[in-house]
């Protein structure tokens, strides 16, 4: 959209290719690229490093969702371009949060509110929460202008989306003392484990730090003893083997006991939407094996 508004040009390829992305970044001469975290991980794992990788015109690479510090540092070093995380969804029209380029940039943060964008981090009653406390991100604006008007022929969902005159994103965010925002998780992806709330994204970050793991997705399934059991679906890096017992031991050493997965499922790939987002609804439907109790 920014390229269209500014009169710039856009390079489109027939499909995303992790092995071809470095060549496209050189040959198509883009100054700005946009990726999700999962494609970043795929590029690092599947595209063989080449001294020419940094020979490109990129000044920024926008991305969304979570990377580890090691993955972000490797990508920046290899391609010679800073990663800038942002947050947005179709319903917000423009991204409410963007990281500022320069010395204030943090790749683990979704950034600062854009000028003129009304945002609120709120509890279940809609009241603002203090810095450091996760809450749902609410975005203000004029429906049909700077936030979505609603869903076509879906009045009930539209009413829920704009309850109280604010767009309810369904995403949990926290602010630090400087006003930077950090994505915590989708509210529906929070797992209730033995009376404790567990953010699937926190478990995913720990699993993704294992050297044999390319990516993972974590969700909950009903558990009669502990409300929900935690399931981690893991895709190994090419040429590596991800052993469930080893991954569970890795998690036990880095997570509180109630956050450790009960079940690790090793897969060749994760189901995705057309734009590359992981379909956890499919994973939940496919997970029928009862969890093994965590010890």
Domain ranges for the chain, please list them.
2-81, 113-186, 194-286
Query: Which stretches of the chain are DSSP H helices?
Result: 2-6, 21-27, 37-46, 69-79, 155-161, 200-208, 244-252, 280-286
Q: Which of 140-144, 181-185, 230-234, 235-239 has the highest mean pLDDT?
A: 230-234
CATH architecture label of 2-81:
3-Layer(aba) Sandwich (3.40)
Distance in angstroms (rounded) separating the CA atoms of residues 109 and 86: 8
Those residues with Cβ within 8 angstroms of residue 123's Cβ, 6 or more apart along the chain or in another chain: 129, 135, 136
102-118 as b/e: b if 16+ CB within 10 A: eeeebbebbbbbeeebe
Q: Which pLDDT does position 122 carry in this prediction? A: 94
Model confidence at 173, pLDDT cuts 50, 70, 90, reads very high
Q: What does the pLDDT look like over 97-152, one tens digit per residue?
A: 999 888 888 888 999 999 889 999 999 888 999 999 999 999 998 888 888 988 99
Q: Which pLDDT does position 42 carry in this prediction? A: 86
- Name the superfamily (CATH) of residues 113-186: Luciferase; Domain 3 (2.30.38.10)
Q: Which pLDDT does position 225 carry in this prediction? A: 80
Distance in angstroms (rounded) separating the CA atoms of residues 229 and 259: 9
Q: What does the pLDDT look like over 46-66, one tens digit per residue?
A: 888 999 999 999 999 999 887
Model confidence at 266, pLDDT cuts 50, 70, 90, reads very high
Q: Which pLDDT does position 268 carry in this prediction? A: 93
Q: What does the pLDDT look like over 59-100, one tens digit per residue?
A: 999 998 878 888 899 999 999 999 999 999 889 988 999 998
Cβ neighbour number for residue 188 with a 10 Å cutoff: 12
Q: Which pLDDT does position 288 carry in this prediction? A: 66
Distance in angstroms (rounded) separating the CA atoms of residues 156 and 17: 39
The answer to whether the CB of 190 falls within 8 A of the CB of 171 is: no
∠ CA(167), CA(115), CA(66), 5° rounding?
65
pLDDT (mean) for 257-263: 94
Distance in angstroms (rounded) separating the CA atoms of residues 24 and 132: 40
Q: SS3 for 77?
A: helix
Q: For residue 143, give both structure tokens.
A: 């429906």
Residue 293 has pLDDT above 90, yes or no: no
Count of helices and strands (H, E) across the chain: 8, 14
Q: What does the pLDDT look like over 6-15, one tens digit per residue?
A: 899 998 888 8
Model confidence at 295, pLDDT cuts 50, 70, 90, reads very low
> Comparing 2-81 with 194-286, is the CATH topology the same?
no
pLDDT (mean) for 151-172: 88
CATH topology of domain 194-286: GMP Synthetase; Chain A, domain 3 (3.30.300)
């Amino acid at each position: 959209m920014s390229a269209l508004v500014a009169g710039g040009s856009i390079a489109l390829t027939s499909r995303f290719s992790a092995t071809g992305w470095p060549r496209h970044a050189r040959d198509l001469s883009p100054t700005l690229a946009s990726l999700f975290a999962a494609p970043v991980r795929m590029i690092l794992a599947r595209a063989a490093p080449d001294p020419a990788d940094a020979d490109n015109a990129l000044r920024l690479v926008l991305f969304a969702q979570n990377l580890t510090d090691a993955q972000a540092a490797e990508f920046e070093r290899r391609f010679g371009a800073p990663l800038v995380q942002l947050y947005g969804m179709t319903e917000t029209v423009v991204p409410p949060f963007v990281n500022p380029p320069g010395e204030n940039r943090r790749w683990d943060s979704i950034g600062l509110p854009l000028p003129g964008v009304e945002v609120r981090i709120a509890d279940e009653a809609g009241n603002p929460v203090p810095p450091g406390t996760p809450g749902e991100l609410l975005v203000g604006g004029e429906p049909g202008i700077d936030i979505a008007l609603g869903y076509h022929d879906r009045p009930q969902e539209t009413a829920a989306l704009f309850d109280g005159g604010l767009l309810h994103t369904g995403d949990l965010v926290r602010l630090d003392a400087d006003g930077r925002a950090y994505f915590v998780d989708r509210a529906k992806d929070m797992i209730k484990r033995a009376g404790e709330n567990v953010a699937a994204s926190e478990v995913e970050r720990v699993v993704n730090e294992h050297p044999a793991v390319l990516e993972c997705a974590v969700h909950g399934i009903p558990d009669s003893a502990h409300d929900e059991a935690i399931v981690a679906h893991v895709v190994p890096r090419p040429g590596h083997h991800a052993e469930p017992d080893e991954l569970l031991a890795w998690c036990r050493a880095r997570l509180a006991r109630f956050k450790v997965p009960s079940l690790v499922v090793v897969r060749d790939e994760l189901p995705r939407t057309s734009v590359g987002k992981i379909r956890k609804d499919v994973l939940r439907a496919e997970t029928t094996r009862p969890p093994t109790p965590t010890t």
